C-alpha cells in the first residue's frame, strides 16, 4: 500500500515510520488518543499510514520546522510546533517545489499551533512532556514519553548533528542548552531521533555534550571537512559512528 513509508513496532505503544530512509516519524498510541511525532517528507499520506495502526483521534507534533519533518503535515488539519520554530516552519512551507506539489495534489499546509512546553499531553495511560532544546534549530522540541522512558529528539540529539546551518547555535551555546536538560538522562532510557532505524541509548546525550564541549574548547585538530548541499563544513567525531557538523571558521 505504501511504497515509501515502512512502519516498525518499537514497543507495545510506539511505532517508527521510516520515509524511504530519508527521515523518521513516530506514532505513539495511548488508550484515548495517538500522537504523530513528525510527518516526514509528505510524498505519501501519513494519516492513512497511521490509520493502518489506530482509529483513535490523532494529535500531530513537529519536533522542529525543517521540511523533511513537517511536509507530511498536509495530511492533517493542524500540527503543533515550538513557537521559536514557527518562522522556520513557515519559511520551509513556502519552498516553491513544495507549493507546486501541493497544488498538483490539491493539498495545503494546515495552520501551525504553538506547542506549550508547560503542558503535558495525556494520550490515555501515556503522557508526553515537551522540552525545549535550541541548537539545530531555535525551537527544537523534545518529547518525553514518561511511562516508557523514551525521549523523541528530532534532529536536536542524534548521531549526525547538523550545526552548520544558518540559525544553528555555535557549539558552546548548544552545549549550554543541552547541559540544562541533562536531568533527562534520569528520566529516559532510550532516544528515538528524526533519522533513526531504531533506539539509541540515552547516554548519547552525555556523548554529544562532551563532543560539543570539545569543539568549544578548540580540540578540533583531527576534524575532517564535511561536504553538504550548502558547501563545506567541518565534522567532529564524538562517539562510534557519530559526528557533529559545524561551520568552518
- Give contact residues for Zn ion (rule: CB under 5 A): 66, 68, 155, 194
Smallest gap, in angstroms, from Cβ of residue 158 to Zn ion?
8
Task: Name the DSSP class of 54.
Answer: -
Which CB atom, from 19 or from 155, has the smaller least distance to Zn ion?
155
Smallest gap, in angstroms, from Cβ of residue 122 to Zn ion?
28
Q: Which residue is listed with cell 519559511?
A: 91
Smallest gap, in angstroms, from Cβ of residue 92 to Zn ion?
10
Which CB atom, from 25 or from 194, has the smaller least distance to Zn ion?
194
Which CB atom, from 30 or from 246, has the smaller least distance to Zn ion?
246
Which CB atom, from 68 or from 200, has the smaller least distance to Zn ion?
68
- Cα–Cα separations (whole angstroms), residue 85 to 62, 76, 139, 180, 195: 10, 19, 4, 20, 19
Burial string for 167-201 (b: 16+ CB within 10 Å, else e) reads ebbebeebbbbbeebeebbeebebbbbbbbeebbe
Which CB atom, from 13 or from 66, has the smaller least distance to Zn ion?
66
| Backbone CA torsion sign across 108, 113, 115, 120 | negative
Smallest gap, in angstroms, from Cβ of residue 95 to Zn ion?
14
Phi, psi of 193 (to 5 degrees): -105, -175
- Cα–Cα separations (whole angstroms), residue 91 to 70, 99, 204: 11, 12, 30
Which CB atom, from 39 or from 199, has the smaller least distance to Zn ion?
39
User: Which among 71, 5, 74, 17 has a CA at the least distance from the CA of 41?
Assistant: 71
Smallest gap, in angstroms, from Cβ of residue 23 to Zn ion?
5
The answer to whether the CB of 85 falls within 8 A of the CB of 139 is: yes
Smallest gap, in angstroms, from Cβ of residue 11 to Zn ion?
23
Amino acid at each position: 500500500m505504501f511504497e515509501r513509508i515502512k512502519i516498525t513496532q518499537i514497543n507495545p505503544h510506539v511505532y517508527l515510520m521510516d520515509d524511504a530512509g530519508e527521515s523518521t516519524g513516530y506514532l505513539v498510541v495511548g488508550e484515548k488518543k495517538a500522537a504523530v511525532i513528525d510527518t516526514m517528507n509528505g510524498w505519501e499520506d501519513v494519516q492513512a499510514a497511521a490509520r493502518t495502526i489506530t482509529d483513535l483521534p490523532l494529535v500531530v507534533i513537529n519536533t522542529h520546522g525543517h521540511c523533511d519533518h513537517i511536509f507530511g503535515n498536509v495530511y492533517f488539519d493542524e500540527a503543533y510546533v515550538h513557537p521559536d520554530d514557527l518562522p522556520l516552519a513557515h519559511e520551509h512551507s513556502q519552498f516553491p517545489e513544495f507549493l507546486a506539489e501541493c497544488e498538483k495534489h490539491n493539498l495545503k499546509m494546515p495552520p501551525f499551533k504553538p506547542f506549550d512546553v508547560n503542558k503535558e499531553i495525556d494520550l490515555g495511560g501515556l503522557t508526553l512532556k515537551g522540552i525545549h532544546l535550541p541548537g539545530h534549530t531555535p525551537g527544537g522540541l523534545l518529547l518525553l514519553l514518561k511511562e516508557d522512558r523514551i525521549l523523541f529528539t528530532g534532529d536536536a540529539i542524534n548521531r549526525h548533528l547538523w550545526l552548520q546551518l544558518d540559525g544553528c547555535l555555535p557549539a558552546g551555546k548548544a552545549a549550554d542548552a543541552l547541559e540544562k536538560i541533562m536531568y533527562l538522562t534520569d528520566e529516559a532510557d532510550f532516544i528515538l531521533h528524526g533519522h533513526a532505524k531504531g533506539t539509541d541509548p540515552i547516554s548519547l546525550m552525555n556523548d554529544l555534550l562532551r563532543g560539543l564541549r570539545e569543539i568549544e574548547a578548540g580540540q578540533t585538530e583531527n576534524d575532517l571537512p564535511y561536504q553538504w548541499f550548502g558547501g563545506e563544513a567541518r565534522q567532529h567525531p564524538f562517539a562510534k559512528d557519530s559526528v557533529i557538523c559545524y561551520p568552518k571558521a
